[in-house]
Chain A
Amino acid sequence: AQKVTQAQTEISVVEKEDVTLDCVYETRDTTYYLFWYKQPPSGELVFLIRRNSFDEQNEISGRYSWNFQKSTSSFNFTITASQVVDSAVYFCALSGRTNAGKSTFGDGTTLTVKP
């Protein structure tokens, strides 16, 4: 069985602070994929990034960066110099080699960025 744990239920920061959202996963698959999605107040989940189990290279995209570590089964997400528009619920998700549509989602972390 697959499991995704996002231990941080809610995080509140002041604009321009850096913030890291934690994601820990469990799977018995040797091939798997990890995702981060953002759900703004409008409700529509937006895909942010995908990582496969064979690629532990960290990635940076603007103010966003992701740290994937198989040794600790973690896929953490850092927002640098946070902005009010970053306020949203962030979900980490896990899928196996097939059937991306059956992804297992964490419970989400609600990030509030205050001006």
Chain B
Amino acid sequence: KAGVTQTPRYLIKTRGQQVTLSCSPISGHRSVSWYQQTPGQGLQFLFEYFSETQRNKGNFPGRFSGRQFSNSRSEMNVSTLELGDSALYLCASSLDLAGGNEQYFGPGTRLTVT
């Protein structure tokens, strides 16, 4: 079974631009979550999608958005990039919304904002 894939792996953007990151979950997994990882803040939950609906959202500004497609693939978008958005963005998939499901993480997209 193929793992979680994320594209692109690396991105360099300029402040004020916008960016779209993509995530393909493990086949059969219907829940996709996004996390932001930075040295100072650790792993911060962004949002979770299930059946094309956002089920949970973390404490991030509205510049961060996402969506999920019918094939469970997900994208997240960050508009009006700020220097502080530089981070590793991790996507994780799990079978469904049950709390006991382990998450399978992708390799991440490292975003650098200059």
Which residues of A come within 8 Å of B, CB atoms? 31-33, 35, 37, 42-47, 50, 52, 91, 95-108
* Candidates B58, B90, B94; contact of A45 at CB < 8 Å: B90
Contact residues on B (Cβ < 8 Å of other chain), bracket? 20 to 34
Q: Is there contact, CB below 8 Å, between B42 and A106?
A: yes
One of B14-22, B75-83, B96-104 contacting the partner: B96-104
Q: What is the minimal beta-carbon distance from A89 to any residue of chain B, in angstroms?
A: 10
- In the complex the two chains form, what is the Cα distance from A32 to B99 in whole Å? 7
* A96–B107 CB distance below 8 A: no
Contacts of B108 in A (CB 8 A): 43-44
How far does the alpha carbon of A107 sit from the alpha carbon of B32 in the complex, in Å? 22
* A100-B45 in contact (CB<8A): no
Q: How far is the CA of A52 from the CA of B32 in the complex (A)?
A: 21
Q: By DSSP majority rule, is chain B's interface helix, strand, loop, or mixed?
A: strand
Q: Which A residues touch B32, using CB under 8 A?
A: 101
| Contact A101–B102 (Cβ < 8 Å) | no
When distances are taken between beta carbons in the complex, the residues of chain B under 8 Å from A52 are 100
- CB <8 Å contact, A103 and B97: no
| A100 CB contacts on chain B under 8 angstroms | 31, 94, 97-103
Residues of A within 8 A of B99 (CB): 31-33, 95-100
B4: nearest residue on chain A (CB-CB)?
A44
Cβ contacts A to B, 11 pairs, < 8 Å: A43-B88, A44-B106, A44-B107, A100-B31, A100-B97, A100-B98, A100-B103, A101-B92, A102-B55, A103-B33, A103-B103
Given contacts A43-B88, A44-B108, A45-B90, is CB(A102)–CB(B103) below 8 Å? no
The reply to whether A99 and B97 form a contact with Cβ atoms under 8 Å apart is yes
Is B56 on the interface with A (CB-CB < 8 A)? yes
On whether the beta carbons of B102 and A99 are closer than 8 Å, the reply is: no
For the complex, is B43 an interface residue (Cβ under 8 Å from A)? Answer: yes
